[in-house]
């Protein structure tokens, strides 16, 4: 294969050998991210302020789980177990299609094709959810501070345009933007945590939130899904492996740092909320104040100005999450285009920044379409202007979280099969045991989530949404598998490349060499 462009070096992960291939525009730009830049890029997706201000009050108030801080500790342990095998795979396979590439290499290209479609659906749904909440929050800030009435979809569309522009730029520039936003919001939340410890509520510095008896409740299954969604982003490090310096070391390191940071930060912040309101009152107060819980408790201790600053950082934190999700989906589309799962044009990067331009544009257009669809159905039922926005956030966020849980479970299965088939099962036994435990935990969480999905989306008894929305995840996976079967039958050369990433270039070069020998012979 020849495009007349300069060769680019690429390490084949399985062997560590250096190969060259032509067609620089079919490769993501290497050495853009170090440990810090990669860590900021993946942690930003979890949007710490969004979780503290949005997810935590919901788990406390709607689901009645006082022991939410303990849930973050438990889920942190589950994700550490998941990361042992997942991180080891990242040492052997460097592919922007992370989840689906690992699944393809372990469970076969057909299942990998199913996972690729599922990944696009899941991460896109998470992004759509955040667009809805960001639009609603920004329109509220304009009304409160500028006395300007604005439909929620106006700032949502503006954010989609800005995210699209940044998606064209260098990933290291994106990392700097994410880093600044992430650092500021984390510092402010930590200041709130310290203020609560210095000035606790009436029940004092109680540790009741870490009592296992306070984890149970009618909303336990839904709480698990919401809390898993709070960790989304920690699993994204391998997506950037091709753009990372020393990926065999950095990707694995960042995954454990991200999980450890998220579990500690979320557990501490959730505990601080229980201390501020009191473990005996946190459910009632959260149900009454909703997303205003954090800001109200902050204003009591740190004043109105600090609370207003938190409101602003709540928005910028959501924007950071949007940019992070956008980058991930664009790279999945790039990987799929490079391997033939999508048209080849998606497997191209811009010459200047090395960013996956076509995938970025596609994701921007799809986001605009999703925002427009919900805006056009904005009929304000029962006079509630927040209804369509809350549907966009809760529906899509729940669907996305279920999809990512499913991908994690499949990836853990793939880890075990991958190493056993290579005869390395004994050498990696501890990691494979950890992956096995993670599979049991993740499948259990998925079952609980589907069982309680009606509660999760606040659907009425007998509502079709209770099975239709989680059904989107099954439809995406099955549809992708069917697509993989079609490729295996009609385009076996494309099917064979699924999950290979840059290694597919070596297959193409070998095929061209054989063709040339046949022609000349």
Select the more confidently predicted residue: 18 or 461.
461
- Where is pLDDT greater, at 126 or 239? 126
What pLDDT band is residue 195 in, cutting at 50, 70 and 90? very high
Mean pLDDT of the chain: 83
> Averaged over 275-289, what is the pLDDT?
91
How many Å apart are CA 333 and CA 347, to the nearest integer? 7
State mean pLDDT over 429-443: 94
Q: Which has the minimum average pLDDT: 78-87, 220-229, 237-246?
A: 237-246
pLDDT tens digits for range 399-412? 999 999 999 999 99
In DSSP notation, 359-415 reads HHHHHHHHHHHHHHHHHHT---GGG-TTHHHHHHHHHHHHHHHHHHHHHHHHHHHHH
Query: Looking only at Cα atoms, what is the longest distance across the chain?
Result: 88
Residue 489 in this model has a pLDDT that exceeds 90: yes
**Whole-number pLDDT of residue 104:** 95
Give the predicted TM-score (pTM) of the model: 0.86
Q: Give the closest residue to 235 by CA, choosing from 419, 80, 12, 68.
A: 80
Residue closest to 35 by CA, chosen among 251, 241, 242: 251
Asked whether residue 476 carries a pLDDT value surpassing 90, the answer given is yes
pLDDT digits (tens, 9 = 90+) for 305-339: 999 888 888 888 888 888 888 888 888 898 898 88
- Percentage of residues in the chain with pLDDT exceeding 90? 38
Say if residue 126 is exposed, middle or buried (CB neighbours under 10 Å; 0-12, 13-18, 19+).
buried
Query: Is the predicted pLDDT of residue 18 greater than 50, yes or no?
Result: no
């Amino acid at each position: 294969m020849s495009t007349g462009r300069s060769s680019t070096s690429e390490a084949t992960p399985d062997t560590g050998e250096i190969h060259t291939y032509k067609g620089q525009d079919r490769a993501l730009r290497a050495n853009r991210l170090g440990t810090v830049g990669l860590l900021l890029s993946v942690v930003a997706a979890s949007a710490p302020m969004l979780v503290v201000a949005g997810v935590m009050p919901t788990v406390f108030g709607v689901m009645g789980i006082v022991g939410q801080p303990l849930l973050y500790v438990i889920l942190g342990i589950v994700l550490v177990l998941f990361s042992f095998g997942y991180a080891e795979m990242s040492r052997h396979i460097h592919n922007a299609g992370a989840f689906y590439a690992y699944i393809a290499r372990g469970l076969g290209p057909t299942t990998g094709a199913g996972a690729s479609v599922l990944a696009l659906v899941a991460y896109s749904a998470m992004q759509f959810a955040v667009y809805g909440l960001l639009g609603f929050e920004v329109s509220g800030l304009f009304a409160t501070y500028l006395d300007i009435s604005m439909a929620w979809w106006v700032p949502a569309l503006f954010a989609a345009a800005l995210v699209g522009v940044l998606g064209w730029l260098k990933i290291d520039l994106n990392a700097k933007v994410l880093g600044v936003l992430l650092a500021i919001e984390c510092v402010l939340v930590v200041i709130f945590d310290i203020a609560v410890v210095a000035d606790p509520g009436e029940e004092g510095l109680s540790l009741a939130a870490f009592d296992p008896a306070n984890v149970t409740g009618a909303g336990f299954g839904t709480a698990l899904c919401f809390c898993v969604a709070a960790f989304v982003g920690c699993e994204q490090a391998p997506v950037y492996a091709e753009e990372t310096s020393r990926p065999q070391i950095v990707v694995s390191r960042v995954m454990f740092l991200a999980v450890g940071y998220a579990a500690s930060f979320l557990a501490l912040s959730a505990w601080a909320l229980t201390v501020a309101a009191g473990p005996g009152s946190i459910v009632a107060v959260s149900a009454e104040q909703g997303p205003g819980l954090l800001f109200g408790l902050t204003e009591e201790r740190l004043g109105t100005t600090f609370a207003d600053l938190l409101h602003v950082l709540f928005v910028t934190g959501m924007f950071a999450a949007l940019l992070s999700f956008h980058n991930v989906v664009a790279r999945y589309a790039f990987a799929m285009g490079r391997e033939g799962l999508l048209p080849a044009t998606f497997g191209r990067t811009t010459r200047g920044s090395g960013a996956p331009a076509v995938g970025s544009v596609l994701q921007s257009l799809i986001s605009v379409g999703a925002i427009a669809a919900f805006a056009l159905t904005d009929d304000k039922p029962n006079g509630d202007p927040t209804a369509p926005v809350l549907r966009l956030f809760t529906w899509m966020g729940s669907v996305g979280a279920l999809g990512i849980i499913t991908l994690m479970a499949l990836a853990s299965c793939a880890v075990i099969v991958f190493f056993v088939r290579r005869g390395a099962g004994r050498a990696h036994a501890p990691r494979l045991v950890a992956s096995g435990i993670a599979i049991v935990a993740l499948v259990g969480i998925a079952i609980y989530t589907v069982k309680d999905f009606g509660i999760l989306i606040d659907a009425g008894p007998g509502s079709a949404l209770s099975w239709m929305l989680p059904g989107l995840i099954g439809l995406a996976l099955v549809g992708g598998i069917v697509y993989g079967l079609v490729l295996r039958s009609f385009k076996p050369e494309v099917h064979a490349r699924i999950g290979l990433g840059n290694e597919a270039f070596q297959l193409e070069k070998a095929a061209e060499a054989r063709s040339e020998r046949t022609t000349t012979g």
